Amino acid sequence: PFDADLEYSAADLVPMLAPVISGQASIVYGTRRTGKAVPHSSFIYAVGNSVMTRFANQLYGSAITDLHTCLKLVPREVFTRIPLFEEGFGLDTELTAWLLRTGMAFSEVPISYHSRSRAEGKKITWRDSLACLHILLLIRMEQTPA
């Protein structure tokens, strides 16, 4: 299912299957960083996503380009083992943090993205960034393997 905000395109799911079919990766993220449209209508959103992605990469020793993309392919057997508790914007961060802990190979595929502004209904705020940092740290320090 997709949000009704039309920021993402269902057509981008088809190219995301290629790394799975070829055996290159089990987890595939649709990245807005190299996609077909400007990722964020607001400079502050672009900076926020970049900072959070860099922080996650440093914390987990990873090299993803778009922490908060909403297009993700995850094997069902992996997804069902992840202890997800977040219900809001933090769910996206929580899922990625657990996936990074697995050490499984990630692949990224460029996608299209049409960002909304706050006037158009974008609801994320700086408080969500603090929650994201907290989630990334908590899961990194978690003693139980994913």
- Reduced to 3 states (helix: H, G, I; strand: E, B; else coil), residue 108 is strand
pLDDT digits (tens, 9 = 90+) for 68-120: 888 999 999 999 999 999 988 899 999 999 999 988 888 999 988 877 666 66
pLDDT, residue 38, reads: 52
Is the pLDDT assigned to residue 128 strictly greater than 60? yes
Predicted local distance difference test score (pLDDT) of residue 40: 54
Structure tokens at 89: 């914007």
Residue 39 has pLDDT above 60, yes or no: no
Cα–Cα distance, 31 to 82 (Å, whole number) = 22
Which tokens is 60 given?
């987990």
Distance of CA 76 to the CA centre of its chain: 17
Q: What per-residue confidence (pLDDT) applies to 101?
A: 92
Phi, psi (rounded to 5 degrees) for 130: -65, -40
Model pTM score: 0.84
Specify the pLDDT at position 145. Answer: 56
pLDDT at 140: 95
